[in-house]
Amino acid sequence: MCGIIGILGDHQAAPIMLDALKRLEYRGYDSAGIATVRDGVLDRRRAVGKLVNLADLLVEDPLAGRAGIGHTRWATHGSPTVANAHPHRAGRVAVVHNGIIENFRELRAELGGTFESETDTETIVRLCESYLSEGLSPKDAAFATIDRLEGAYALCFLFDAQDDLLIAARAGSPLAIGHGDGEMFVGSDAIALGPLTDRMTYLEEGDRAVVTRAGARIFDAEGKQTHREMRRIRMEATRIEKAGHKHFMAKEIHEQPQTLSDVLNTYLDGDRVAPPGDYDFAATDRVQMIACGTAHIACTVAKYWFEALARLPVDVDIASEYRYREGPIGACNTALFVSQSGETADTLAALRYAKGQARAILSVVNVDTSSIARESDTAFPIHAGVEVGVASTKAFVNQLAVLLCLAIRAGVQRGHVSPARESALVGELRALPGIVSSALGIESRCEALARRLAEATDILFLGRGPMYPLAHEGALKLKEISYIHAEAYASGELKHGPIALVDRTLPVVVFAPMDPLFDKTVSNMQEVMAREGQVLLVTDAEGAAAASEGVWEVLVMPKVDPLLAPILYALPAQLLAYHTADHKGTDVDQPRNLAKSVTVE
């Protein structure tokens, strides 16, 4: 979501902050701004829309200073306007803020007066200024303000007449401090800070920090000064480039053979599955999988795998609903959380609800320094690398690969997967990156089909078994980047309502590899064609030979073990969505209203 940068540097801060904010564009935003202190004077510039608008403003009205804060905003309270853009300022203090202040209305009523914006964030600077007016120091005023806030936030304060001071704080939204040589930095993630320094300190929940060029003093939620580990990050992990592709999403689709190979090399050892940070599933009675969005779909696929391979019951919950249900968590239940960023606010809150109740807290994450990884008993990395496109591609595929490896491991531990079966599955997994690479050959075919799909106003996706959640993934990808309304159904549910939608104008995408459910899926497909629905059948050569008569189009995939099909069939779901959106001319990497890392509930 929103991006934060803070600098206490040796050089003019504005161009450095603009560059850092550019690296944070992938998170999604609708306005941007910066503030600096020069010769003791605090000033700011803000603009609506893309960062180029802020850059143009800074050419016309420059902003000097070696200390500053910057922000890209994704609107929560108030529409995208200059008045609602960050940094917000009141008198001697400016602040940038990620998250939501839940008690801002009460604080507004207490402060009184006229507010310039519709945001919750303006309440923070107004409150801090009131404490400054009472004679508190900038540090004490900021800390007193933070003590009054309820909700989720990452904050960075900048003060008039203070060109060597930033106050940073986090609660429910990530924030990192970067250490330079005589310079210090604050950022919402390592990507913002990567080119500036490779030395990072990640604030823990409730932390606040006093940052000067000499270093950072960190205080915990109780106000006690504490030590947080400084970590060195791999600079390549922060590099963002399209590598000749038109969009980041296209690049990330094409990276999947390599990233899939990377993660499988970590989880496979010879002819066995050997996850890093192994966990014994033999003692658990049930697994609860909790996630949001695409990660939730990955969990839904994994439910089929765990129940089939390990005979282990699995409940899948949407994180934003999970803790509010207040469902029972048995002491023998294992809670497994999936998040690409490792900072998803709903998922993190659900994890904290389950902690102390479940037998163990496991996570599947892409960022091993993230809050979810750090707060889990065992974190399983997916090794997908930086993913910039808002619509997840390689992270989703690697989540599936890790979850399948864990399901196989659980099956072995519980005595339901024999050594011979494990060895056979490992052989299939080792071959999968090469199969995915060859399957990229369907792209030109997907591009041609997308020209037809782009003319539709509604599209239906169908699948059975583990292809049912894949249908959801296809619909989600299409709607989020092409803005075409799409829905997914289990094929057997078609006649229980959705078939009323079918006519000659409705494209129906059917995921149907030749598996034990193939004939059932074909029967449902025939129901669509009998009502003149336009069926796009995505299957393998055997399936195409058996069931292509009468369909609108067929997209032929390589043959794989049905257990691995969801991983491979993610590719056509992605390519059809990508090329449909590209043909329509939508913003593929930064679709409207969406953000990459959702750090508000």
Residue 349 near residue 324, CB atoms below 8 Å: no
As a whole number of angstroms, the distance between CA 99 and CA 106 comes to 17
User: Which residues face 540 on adjacent strands?
Assistant: 557
Range with the poorest average pLDDT among 62-71, 118-127, 135-144, 190-199? 190-199
- CA distance to 2, 91, 157, 170, 483, per residue, from 175 (Å): 12, 25, 13, 6, 32
**Is the pLDDT score of 242 beyond 90?**
no
The reported pTM is: 0.76
- Looking at the chain, the whole-number percentage of residues with pLDDT higher than 70 is 97
- In this predicted structure, the answer to whether residue 116 has a pLDDT above a threshold of 80 is yes
Is the pLDDT score of 236 beyond 80?
no
| Segment 287-327, tens digit of pLDDT | 999 999 999 999 999 999 999 999 999 999 999 898 888 77
Q: Which of 2, 128, 292, 405 is catalytic?
A: 2
Handedness of CA 368, 372, 376, 378 (dihedral sign): negative
Q: For strand 485-490 and strand 268-269, is the pairing parallel, antiparallel, or unpaired?
A: unpaired
What does the alpha-carbon distance between residue 389 and residue 27 come to, in Å, rounded to a whole number? Answer: 9
> Around 203, how many Cα atoms within 13 Å sit in the side-chain half-sphere?
35
Instruction: Enumerate residues 6+ apart whose C-beta is below 8 A from 220.
Output: 204, 206, 207, 226
Which residues share a beta bridge with 95?
Answer: 88, 157
Mean pLDDT of 527-548: 87
Read off the pLDDT of each residue in 26-33 and give the average, rounded to a whole number. 80
pLDDT band for 597, please (50, 70, 90 cuts).
low
Q: Is the pLDDT of residue 414 over 60?
A: yes
pLDDT at 273 over 90: yes
Q: Which DSSP category does 482 fall into?
A: H
- In the residue annotation, 303 being an active-site residue is answered as no
Which is higher by pLDDT, 530 or 392?
392
Active site residue 477: no
Give the CA angle between residues 494, 500, 503 to the nearest 5°. 105
Q: Write out pLDDT tens, residues 425-437.
A: 999 999 999 999 9
The whole-number pLDDT of residue 73 equals 86
Helices within 454-564 (DSSP H only): 467-482, 518-529, 541-547
pLDDT, average across residues 210-225: 94
Res. 7: pLDDT tops 80: yes
Any long-range contacts for 50-53 (C-beta under 8 Å, 24+ apart)? 51/18, 51/21, 51/22, 51/25
Closest to 471 measured CA to CA, from 531, 401, 521: 521
Q: Which of 251, 303, 394, 596 is catalytic?
A: 596
Q: Is the pLDDT of residue 151 over 90?
A: no
Q: Which of 123-127, 151-155, 466-470 has the lowest mean pLDDT?
A: 151-155
Residue 33, φ and ψ in degrees, nearest 5: -170, 165
